[in-house]
Structure 1
Amino acid sequence: MVTLGLYYAAADWLDQRYFRFLIWNLFLGWIPFVFSYVAYGFSHVKWKGATWFAVASGLLWLLFFPNSSYIVTDLVHLTARSSRYYGGGNGLDYKYWYDLIVVLMFVWTGLLLGFLSMYQLQEVIHHKLGRWVSWIFVLGGCALGSYGVLLGRVYRLNSWDALTNRETLVELMHESVSRPSLAFCMFFGMFILTVYATLYYLINTRSSRDRKTEVGSSEADLQGLR
């Protein structure tokens, strides 16, 4: 809400609506979170068919997961519009800072949605298959997510092309096999993994501290009763 509010408020004030396409991209970024939430919910349901629904939701999550981090590549539009930001010999125009902040807000929201969606699925896999398998899932998700961003940004494919335009998808996947593509996937995948691992560590460090505090309080209460 803050991201959209900032965009609309500043867009009306400065009469700049160039980045309205980010709203659509952010909507696509919400889709993997919805599927991960559904998968997480079904994983806790005691029903025979729930597992299949959870798996199906997980596969759909993987299909749309690249959309959550794709917004990072929208920073390229700042470069494309760079000629608008200089003039009058006073350095950068104030509109540059508006555009930068708006794009960064969308980027942060997209990354956060991607983190939350992957975190939910990792929790499911951790509970079902163990810790190491859950981290293998994270590594695979980051690798495939970065490849999806490559297909989207460089080859202009969409997630639903896997269902509606498979021939073109296969053709462009063959075309994408190259050293520059591999380098892009490695660097972007490492970027996603670093963001995820950082937020994961921060959340779990706090959770561990809270658990220790609760245990310490419980022990103190027991000693007081004695």
Structure 2
Amino acid sequence: MVEMFLNSLLYILQAHSRWMSWNLFLAFTPLGLSVFLFRRKSLNRSLSWWLGFLVFFAFLPNAPYVLTDIIHLVTYIRRVDSIWLITLILFPLYLLFMSLGFEAYVISLINLGSYLHRIGKTRWITSAELITHALCAVGVYLGRFQRFNSWDLVTQLDVVATSLIEDLLGKRPLIIIAITFIIITILYWITKQLNLGIILRQRSFMKSRQQSSKRVSQTEN
């Protein structure tokens, strides 16, 4: 019984490790770019900055895209007979995977919002977020249903554009994109509030420690 459980566990990890690692790599690519683009001290926007900005938006849909990988969970639930493997391994594995990918999306946009605030465009933040959600909803649709990749925007832009225009003329693709946009928007708002709450608590904690250290220092003197 134990040996069967361990063999099933090994099978699940082997079956998921490669594609999950690759998808997380794609999801974290825009996060790394957001740090380079939006968190650096200089506010100058050179040619290399704009190229990085285009690459950032080309890869950004890969982060919320991980939410659609839940279809693989349904497939593997049908293959696995043990309720314990499903409950203790599959569900936590997919939850962690999707949480990490979407967290990369949220932090990327928080970095973008921070940059807009620094250049005096705070009023643009909400609009920029909504536009980004919409673009990513289109990107997720193209990736999941049309099987395009981020680099196809460079290698076969004409094919991507033609396919997108044809799809937008249909009712079903528009409904899928709209639902994806709503899901991304809601999950983003919730996750962003959680992140900002954690950041504020950390800042408050650090401020309290600094004030305590200052009072101790003054008392000793």
Q: TM class, shorter-chain normalised?
A: 0.7 to 0.9
- Could you tell me which residue of structure 1 aligns to residue 118 of structure 2? 127
Q: Which residue of 2 aligns with 1:151?
A: 142
How many Å separate the matches in 1 of 2:7 and 2:33?
A: 31
The structure, 1 or 2, with the larger RCO (C-alpha pairs under 8 Å, 6+ apart) is 2
**Aligned-partner Cα distance in 2 for 1:12–1:119:** 39
CA distance in 2, matches of 1:157, 1:11: 35
AA matched with 1:18: A
Match of 2:42 in 1: 45
Tell me the TM-score normalized by structure 2: 0.77
Correspondent of 2:10 among 4, 9, 14: 14
Decide whether the 8 Å contact of 2:64 with 2:184 is kept in 1: no
**Would the aligned equivalents of 2:63 and 2:101 in 1 still touch at CA under 8 Å?**
yes
- Name the residue aligned to 1:96: 86
1:103 is paired with a residue whose SS is helix
SS of the residue corresponding to residue 156 of structure 1 reads coil
| Contact 1:150 1:184 (8 Å CA) reproduced | no
Question: Does the Cα contact within 8 Å between 1:146 and 1:188 map onto a contact in 2?
Answer: no
Q: 1:215, CA displacement in angstroms?
A: 9.8
- 1: CA distance, partners of 2:146 / 2:115: 33
Question: How far is 1:218 from its partner?
Answer: 11
Alignment partners' CA distance in 2, 1:79 and 1:12: 17
TM-score, normalization by structure 1: 0.76
Deviation digits for residues 98-146 of structure 1, max 9, x if unmatched? 1221121111111121222221121111111332112221222122122
Distance across 1 between alignment mates of 2:53 and 2:187: 19
Residue among 39, 51, 54 paired with 1:56: 51
Q: Is the 8 A contact 2:133 2:181 kept in 1?
A: no
Q: Does the C-alpha gap of structure 1 residues 207 and 83 become closer, same or farther in structure 2, counting only changes over 3 Å?
A: closer
| Contact residue 157 and residue 169 of structure 1 kept, 8 A | yes
User: In the alignment, residue 188 of structure 1 is paired with which amino acid?
Assistant: I
Aligned residue for 2:125, secondary structure, equals helix
| Superposition CA RMSD, Å | 3.1
Q: Output the amino acid matched with 1:80.
A: T
Match of 1:23 among 21, 26, 47: 21
- Structure 2, gaps ≥5 residues long: 1-5
Q: Which of 78, 84, 89 is 1:83 aligned to? A: 78
2:181 matched to 1:183? no
Per the alignment, in what secondary structure is the counterpart of residue 129 of structure 1? Answer: coil
Unpaired stretches in structure 1, ≥5 consecutive residues: 1-9, 87-91
Map of 1:70 onto structure 2: 65
In 2, Cα distance between equivalents of 1:24 and 1:11: 24
**CA offset at residue 219 of structure 1?**
11
